[in-house]
Structure 1
Amino acid sequence: MKRRSAIAVATGTALAASLLTVAGAQAGEQSSDAAAAPDISVENVQGHLKELDSIAQANGGNRAHGEPGYKASVDYVKGKLDEAGFETQVQEFDEGGATGYNLIADWPGGSGDDVLMAGGHLDSVTEGAGINDNGSGSAGLLEVALAVASGDLEPSKHLRFAWWGAEELGMVGSTHYVDSLDEAERGKIGGYLNFDMIGSPNPGYFVYQEDQALEKVFTDYFAGKNIETEPAEGTEGRSDHAAFSDAGIPVGGLFTGAEGVMTEDQAAKWNGTAGEAFDKCYHSQCDGMDNLNTEALDANSDALAHAVWELSS
């Protein structure tokens, strides 16, 4: 996750209105023909993280933009998606004299005029392997995408997943992607969900609040699991959802905290440690396989799947 000053949140009025209709429907009983999301195996998510960690260790200790570990990470995720039947595309861009890569994966079917996107950045900083930031979001996304394929999901909306490059240099890859779309293509994206750091070792349960309908999908889900959430304040321009929000596309997502310090109240409701950072290894060499909370990784991966199934049906 990259720091960025707060931006003005675009309203996306017409698109947000359609999503509010979804939220209204959720207030009543769920449609009987809407399939429930599967339970996402946290062991499988951890398996992907182990692969990303191995890739980093074999390539100078990181998976940063312009380094061989990043391209190897793209190749790993792409191989899994290709095997599962996704239509994948690697989009190239230039940043700092090096080639960057976005990986876009479309699940065949659904209305091409109504697209739901879910994404997160795949790059790390140069200091470490980036297992929580943002291997956690990347691995959760990958396992949910594979669950879409194994369940042969037939959503009414078109599903698109994305793994962004060069987020740590200022959301470069996601901005390049949004800028590459013409106005008509942007208008087809009814919502974008971002997952950046979903397994912090001292986790909070934060939900993006930029769009009321998308926020409600997550807060209702966690409430049903007896997990209290808080708005992810200060994240408006901090990760890849910023480019989509700037373009007027409704955005939502999850976050378990970075360098911020957990309060006493938060520690009490999340069984955490007050006075310590949510991620003590944020942007550091120690962001490896030991820098994860499995319970948070599991809960957020399941919430990710719930949102994809709920919003695409």
Structure 2
Amino acid sequence: MKLPRSGRALAAGAVAVATLISGGSMAGAAPAADTAPAALAAPDIPIANVKAHLTQLQSIATANGGNRAHGRPGYQASLNYVKAKLDAAGFTTTVQRFTASGRTGYNLIADWPGGDANQVVMAGSHLDSVSSGPGINDNASGSAAVLETALAVARSGHQPTKHLRFAWWGAEELGLVGSRYYVNSLGSAGRAKINGYLNFDMIGSPNPGYFVYDDDPTIEQTFQEYFAGLGISTEIETEGDGRSDHAPFKNAGVPVGGLFSGADYRKTSAQAAKWGGTAGQPFDRCYHSSCDTTANINDTALNRNSDAVAYAMWELSR
């Protein structure tokens, strides 16, 4: 998640010529209370698989100066890792190139073949970290959950009515540069085809909360139904409002939603009573720091939120 407007370094020269590189592939989870026919129910997302992606992204950061930031080797290696998984699973992948702060950045888009191309359901997360750390909660957590959901689509052979698309954004930490570039590149006709964009930024915070975006009632209700099935009370997400990659979509009139487990705001006593954890401490004490490593993840929150990603993608694409 990028810094608030008052504290972040704004991207300079964010527009360049888009370069498309084709390749190929993509993938979905549900609560026990789901009563849809078995063929339409989302599968459970294996937490071990999600954590394996985190381990790989941590290793990439460690081997590349301790980060996966825009324009650095660690980001390129992260993108290559995700793309290889999707290509092997049968997605149609596209790499979109842009320029920000004098460095080349990349978005990765993965389309699952089939479904109505005029009705697109899309999930995304930013893949870049800040330069000060490996960015495992912010935002390898969202990136890994979206990746494993895409791979679950492929494993299940899921063929929904609507078209599924997954995305990993570059240069989010410089001011939502990659996602804004993508939204602008679609044009009004392309944006009108997106029924919903779901954003996942920081979903494994070590002192977690369960926050749901309230921007679109249908998407919000879908997530609320999932968490209600687990007996978990959620709150409306406010800390990151406008500070992550859903904002360019929302500003362009696309319905948006998503999940968040908290950044540097402090958990209240009421929230600790509801969700556990430690009152008076940040949801993520390692936010934008070198200690945002694989040790900075709450497995329970990551597991629940990863399953929620898949549940929403299955439900909204019927």
Give the TM-score, by structure 1 length.
Answer: 0.91
Q: Which residue of 2 aligns with 1:46?
A: 51
CA distance 1:134–1:32, shift in 2 (3 Å)? same
Structure 1 CA distance for aligned equivalents of residues 61 and 135 of structure 2: 9
- Whole-angstrom CA distance in 2 between matches of 1:46 and 1:66: 25
Corresponding residue SS for 1:290: helix
Could you tell me how far apart the structure 1 residues matched to 2:157 and 2:37 are?
18
Which residue is 1:207 aligned to?
A: 212
Deviations 1:135-159 (CA, angstroms, capped at 9, x unpaired): 0000000000000000000010000
Correspondence for 1:239 = 244
Separation (CA, whole Å) in 1 of partners of 2:152 and 2:284 = 28
1:298 and 2:278 equivalent? no
Q: CA deviation digits over 1:63-87, x for unaligned, max 9?
A: 0001000000000000000000000
Partner of 2:2: 2
Q: Partner of 2:40: helix, strand, or coil?
A: coil
Match of 1:18 in 2: none
Residue 233 of structure 1: how far off its partner (Å): 1.6
Cα distance in 1 for residues equivalent to 2:293 and 2:219? 31
Q: How does 1:32-111 map to 2 (within 5 A)?
A: 32=37, 35-111=40-116
User: Does the CA-based 8 Å contact 1:210-1:236 persist in structure 2?
Assistant: no
Asked if 1:268 corresponds to 2:285, the answer is: no
**Equivalent residue number for residue 188 of structure 1:** 193
Segments of 5+ residues of structure 2 without an aligned counterpart are 7-33
How far apart are 1:286 and its partner, in Å? Answer: 0.2
RMSD, matched Cα:
1.3
Encode CA deviations 1:100-123: one digit per residue, 9 max, x unaligned: 000000000000000001000000
Q: Give the drift of 1:234.
A: 4.0
Equivalent position SS for 2:294 = coil
CA distance in 2, matches of 1:36, 1:246: 32
Letter of the 1:132 partner, please give it: N
Query: How far off its partner does 1:236 sit?
Result: 2.6
Instruction: Give the whole-Å Cα distance in 1 for the aligned partners of 2:48 and 2:93.
Output: 25
Question: Where does residue 203 of structure 2 map in the other structure?
Answer: 198
1:218 aligns with 2:223: yes
The alignment partner of 1:76 has SS state of helix
Structure 1 counterpart of 2:172:
167
* Contact residue 191 and residue 250 of structure 1 kept, 8 A: yes
1:251 pairs with 2:256: yes
Alignment length (residue pairs):
291
Counterpart code for 2:254: I
Matched, 1:112 2:140: no
Deviations 1:259-291 (A, max 9, x none): 000000000110110000000000000000100
Distance 1:35 1:210 in 2: 26
Matches of residues 123-202 of structure 1 in structure 2 within 5 Å? Answer: 123-202=128-207
> Does the Cα contact within 8 Å between 2:239 and 2:262 map onto a contact in 1?
no
State whether residues 5 and 237 of structure 1, in contact with CA within 8 Å, keep that contact through their aligned partners in structure 2: no
Partners of 2:200 and 2:257 in 1: how far apart? 9
State the secondary structure of the residue aligned to 1:181: helix
Match of 1:10 in 2: none
**Displacement of 1:4:** 4.1
Identical-pair percentage: 64
> Offset of 1:46 from its aligned partner?
0.2
Give me the whole-angstrom Cα distance separating, in 1, the residues matched to 2:239 and 2:56.
32
